[in-house]
Amino acid sequence: MSGRHRAGGAYEIFFILGIIAISFSAIFIRWSNAEASVVAMYRLFITNLILLPFAWRHRHEMLRLKPKQWGLLAASGLLLGLHFLLWMNSLRYTSVASSTVILTLQPVLVMLGSIWLFKDKINRMMLLGMGIAVVGSILIGSGDFRLSGSALYGDILSLLGTLTISVNMLVGQHLRKDLAALPYNFWMFFMAACSLGCYNLAMDYPFTGYPMKEWGFFFLLSVVSTLFGHYLFNWLLKYMNATTVSMAILGEPICASLLALVLLGEMLTGLQLFSGLIIIAGVWVFMRHRQAR
């Protein structure tokens, strides 16, 4: 076996590891009793503490940024903070399956933004895939509305969270042209955590007094879901194309729903399963024909 094939196999293993890691985030959030914004803040601050020794070694590169880059990093961090606030709160109202399946619309939204901002092209099959995915999202929303109004509210929060992370990715795409993964992730995580800290301060949420169990969930979210999930995918962008990496979002609802079934006892309704398959099929058609182009 050639070195290239061995390396390719290793990257695929890391890719699968990343999918499993981000799928655990919904479980850890459900287990935590702290406010979602507090969980998100400490998740990011702890991640930055882990990255700090590496950032210190590259401190000259970390600080040698242009004013425009600092401004875009602040915007990217604010968007990430909003994503965590909205999506993590959605898990308090709707099921893990519904919330994570709605996140699969992210590649479609990112592509629409790319068409608008970067003048990318779109074909009929991509439009068909988008249409199928939107129909699936409407079905999930209508099914959860019949279950309870709060479930529909959770779906809306998840959709808004998907919009914010999609814009975050578009800003990141622009920044990553001239910025390495470490300074981009470190400063984005830091600014997102600071924005969440300001929100928690305004809402008068406590910063201390949490039991060790809660700190354990904060730490697990930092290491498992952020470092082995989000950061790992950013690292893989050097070795796999962005289209392939973005396909990871299709695996999250499947893994997260299975984990919720085993660890939380959440059963999938027939409509959730059917709607989820429609969304995944629509996004797959969209990405398949995007990749073919």
- pLDDT, tens digit, for every residue of 37-93? 999 999 999 999 999 999 998 888 888 899 999 999 999 999 999 999 999 888 888
pLDDT above 90 covers a percentage of the chain that reads: 31
pLDDT one-digit tens code per residue, 122-160: 678 877 887 887 777 667 656 655 555 677 888 889 889
pLDDT reported for residue 104: 73
Q: Where are the alpha helices (DSSP H) in the chain?
A: 3-31, 36-57, 59-63, 67-90, 96-102, 106-118, 124-147, 149-175, 181-202, 212-220, 232-236, 242-246, 248-259, 270-292
C-beta separation of 283 from 133 below 8 A: yes
Q: Of 186-195, 237-246, 261-270, which range is least confident?
A: 237-246
C-beta separation of 158 from 90 below 8 A: yes
pLDDT reported for residue 238: 65
More confident of the two residues 49 and 179:
49
Q: Over 70: is that where the pLDDT of 245 sits?
A: no
pTM metric for this prediction: 0.79
Mean pLDDT of 240-269: 72
